[in-house]
Amino acid sequence: MHFEGTHAFPVPREVLWKLLNDPAVLTRVAPGVRELQLQEDDKYQAVFDIKLGPVNSTFAGTLEVAEKIAPESYKLLVQVDGKIGAVSAAGALILKNENGHTLVSFAGDAQLSGVLARMGQRLLTGVARMFTSQFFKALERELPS
């Protein structure tokens, strides 16, 4: 499954970078994230509670920030397992200054197994878009006034 998009924020890149690298902020704004516990530099033990229609599951695994170039970009590597399957995902986040604002571009791919894989790519692509939209709206609420 592939997903990509952009979102603009009315703050300088450095401000947004700081928020995107704060585990407490990410736990508050990322849909389904229950906890992120730092294991070592830029590698977290992660627990997600995900509800997709009638299917609910808790996923546990790792979330790693790789290839970090402050305040421009990083890659996220996610490996989680749950009762209904597993997710292996990698995505890139790029932040660009645009006249005092920040444009965030993201692109990623995920491989799913188990019940998740059988749910169908069309459904899961829609869910990924919805979660992405929820994430960026929640992140906007974290911006300083």
Query: pLDDT band for position 1 (50/70/90)?
Result: confident
Q: Write the secondary structure of the chain as one string of H (helix), E (strand) and C (coil).
A: CEEEEEEEECCCHHHHHHHHCCHHHHHHHCCCEEEEEEEECCEEEEEEEEEECCEEEEEEEEEEEEEEECCCEEEEEEEEEECCEEEEEEEEEEEEEECCEEEEEEEEEEEECCHHHHCCHHHHHHHHHHHHHHHHHHHHHCCCC
Other beta carbons within 10 angstroms of residue 13's beta carbon come to 20
pTM as predicted: 0.90
CATH 3.30.530.20 fits 2-141, yes or no: yes
Per-residue model confidence as pLDDT tens digits over 9-64: 999 999 999 999 999 999 999 999 999 999 999 999 999 998 877 778 999 999 99
Per-residue model confidence as pLDDT tens digits over 87-134: 999 999 999 999 989 999 999 999 999 988 887 667 778 888 888 999
**pLDDT score, position 97:** 96
**pLDDT score, position 54:** 73
Separation between Cα atoms, residue 69 and residue 118, nearest integer Å: 37
Of the candidates 26, 37, 28, 32, the one whose C-alpha atom is nearest the C-alpha of residue 48 is: 32
**pLDDT score, position 35:** 94
pLDDT at 5 over 80: yes
